[in-house]
């Protein structure tokens, strides 16, 4: 007689397999978000806090809940991968002739390795439980952080990012939507208390209130997602960040419990550790692609990264960098020309 596993036994088997594959955390969420989470998303978009990420309003309905994205889903498995740094993520902000890069982008682009792990888990689940499923890792309109909070993987801090008691602020997320009807785990409780460290640390005041962020003012958005010239009101706050920003994450007290990643692919490559601004702005498209091959930075393209580096030069106060900026006053890209002119005028 064939043995029938109950939901808890299936969950335990999935957790063990996920750990074997290399995920540091596995938790289970319901296939629907809460009314508050859906309302928060609607308000975020209605107030224009998504900036020029037009895919957010375009996909709002599908993003609002797993069931809206796939009507066959019955449970969501949320998986975490630790990319914790073994160095101070904001150590480079004082090196004015150098660039700061978010620690998640210093190593290999996480998308492919995590997607491969998700697919490996998915194949096993299909064989083991004869279920249907879909896997996601930044590849579809999924409310990753709210679902992770519902699963108990952590909670959304006052900076709106996920915080884990085991891994602090440093986890990549992936999801498996499945037709298996599994009992969800209990959500974690909010452990932020009265702390406002992340709010106080934001250089552009993008965290407008606890649990409220103006994405269009966030340095990560400005340096990675935003196309064209950057509003001058944000430029000085950007400091020397050229890709992402770790300031609100790095000050979180929960990071004192975080463990450095043991995955070599997420550890910094030499070319991503405080590169010289003068070298960044001298890159043409082929040399840019070669320098940042295999990292998330490559996806933003040469023009945006050079634009960001020029703003960092303008913020440096280093007159020796003026000539490097002046070289780009006639660049083919409008945003690069604009940033070059601003940098030259600042110096």
Query: DSSP secondary-structure letter at 217?
Result: G
Q: What are phi and psi of 294, to 5 degrees?
A: 85, -5
How far apart are alpha carbons 253 and 35 in whole angstroms?
30
Strands (E), the chain: 25-30, 75-82, 100-101, 133-136, 155-156, 162-163, 171-178, 207-209, 212-213, 241-243
Q: Residue 149: enclosing H or E segment and its boundaries?
A: helix 144-151
Q: Can you read off the two tokens belonging to residue 285? A: 């498209």
Start-end of H helices in 47-90: 55-58, 60-63, 66-69
- Residue 269 CA: distances (Å) to CA of 77, 106, 111, 212: 31, 6, 17, 34
Annotated catalytic residue, options 52, 58, 88, 138: 138
- Residue 121 CA: distances (Å) to CA of 76, 114, 152, 288, 309: 13, 11, 20, 35, 40
How far apart are alpha carbons 64 and 313 in whole angstroms?
40
In angstroms, how far is CA 313 from the centroid of its own chain? 25
How far apart are alpha carbons 312 and 234 in whole angstroms?
12
Instruction: Compute the half-sphere exposure of residue 298: CA atoms within 13 Å on the CB side of its CA.
Output: 16
246 is a catalytic site residue: no
How far apart are alpha carbons 273 and 268 in whole angstroms?
7
Catalytic residue list = 138
């Amino acid at each position: 007689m064939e043995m029938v596993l109950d939901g808890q036994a299936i969950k335990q088997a999935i957790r063990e397999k996920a750990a074997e594959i290399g995920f540091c955390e596995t938790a289970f969420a319901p296939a629907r978000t809460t009314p508050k989470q859906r309302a928060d998303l609607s308000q975020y978009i209605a107030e224009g806090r998504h900036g020029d990420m037009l895919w957010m309003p375009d996909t709002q309905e599908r993003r609002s809940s797993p069931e809206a994205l796939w009507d066959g889903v019955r449970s969501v498995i949320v998986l975490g991968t630790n990319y914790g740094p073994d160095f101070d993520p904001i150590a480079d902000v004082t090196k004015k002739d150098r660039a700061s890069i978010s620690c998640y982008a210093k190593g290999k682009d996480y998308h492919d390795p995590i997607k491969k792990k998700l697919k490996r888990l998915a194949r096993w689940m299909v064989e083991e439980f004869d279920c249907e499923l879909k896997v996601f890792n930044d590849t579809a309109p999924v409310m990753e952080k709210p679902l992770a909070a519902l699963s108990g993987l952590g909670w959304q801090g006052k900076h709106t990012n996920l915080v884990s008691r085991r891994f602090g602020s440093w986890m990549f997320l992936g999801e498996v939507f499945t037709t298996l009807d599994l009992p969800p785990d209990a959500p974690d409780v909010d452990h932020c208390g009265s702390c406002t460290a992340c709010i106080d640390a934001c250089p552009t005041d993008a965290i407008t209130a606890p649990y409220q962020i103006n994405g269009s003012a966030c340095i990560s958005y400005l340096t990675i997602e935003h196309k064209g010239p950057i509003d001058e009101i944000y430029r000085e706050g950007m400091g020397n960040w050229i890709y992402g920003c770790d300031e609100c994450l790095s000050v979180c007290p929960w990071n004192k419990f975080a463990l450095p990643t043991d995955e070599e692919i997420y550890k910094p490559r030499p070319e991503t550790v405080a590169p010289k601004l003068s070298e960044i702005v001298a890159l043409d498209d082929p040399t840019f692609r070669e320098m940042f091959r295999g990292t998330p930075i490559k996806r933003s393209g040469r023009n945006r990264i050079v634009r960001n580096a020029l703003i960092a030069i303008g913020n440096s106060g280093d007159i020796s960098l003026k000539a490097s900026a002046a070289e780009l006053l006639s660049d083919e890209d409008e945003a690069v020309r604009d940033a070059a002119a601003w940098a030259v005028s600042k110096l």
